Amino acid sequence: MMQRTARLQREVCMLNTEPPPGISCCPHGDDQFELRAQILGGSGTPYEGGIFNLQIQIPERYPFEPPKLRFLTPIYHPNIDTAGRICLDILKMPPKGAWRPALNISTVLSSIQLLMAEPNPDDPLMTEISAEYKYNREVFLDKARMLTKKHAVDEIKAKETPTHESMLEGNGA
């Protein structure tokens, strides 16, 4: 228990002082073992301009067991399902997975960011999207961009753009 707490505190501190480019992460609410992360969609990807929110649960046996991550923001991707679950080898224990205690949350988030930029269609969670990615890339890219715009971009604009009512009340810009 102490090892998990101390390790997590070090990792969160590092994520705050030296975050990987395009990634932020912090504790969520009162539970020190639940974090929230945000990953910016990479330039040149269909996720460009989007901000994707993730939930991170730190298990009891961390770092001997991988953190549990899922996307809270909908994303159109062959390796991420509609519940936000992510198919990535370092999120699973050996022998099927590649998790090692030497890995950390920063590494995992960077790997997810890379997976967003370079999907692995040969190990899909979403077979239909995987087939589209492999055989009809333009359709995949259009759908991914559209979903990004709908769920990861408009959300930001809605928070920044004053509503008509707030402008009438004098609260707007």
DSSP letters spanning 11-61 = HHHHHHHSPPTTEEEEEETTEEEEEEEEEEPPTTSTTTT-EEEEEEE--TT
Quick one: pLDDT at residue 2?
A: 77
Extents of the domains making up the chain: 2-168
Top CATH class, 2-168: alpha beta
Quick one: pLDDT at residue 110?
A: 97
Can you say whether residue 82 is alpha, beta or left, with left for phi > 0 and alpha for psi between -120 and 50 degrees? alpha
pTM: 0.87
pLDDT by residue for the chain (173 residues), tens digit each?
678 999 999 999 999 999 999 999 999 999 999 999 999 999 999 999 999 999 999 999 999 999 999 999 999 999 999 999 999 999 999 999 999 999 999 999 999 999 999 999 999 999 999 999 999 999 999 999 999 999 999 644 544 444 444 444 444 43
Sign, CA torsion 38/74/154/121? positive
Of 13, 25, 26, 87, which one is the catalytic site residue? Answer: 87
Quick one: pLDDT at residue 154?
A: 64
CB 172 within 8 A of CB 166: yes
Which of the 8 DSSP states describes residue 163? P
**Residue 13 is among the residues annotated as catalytic for this protein:** no
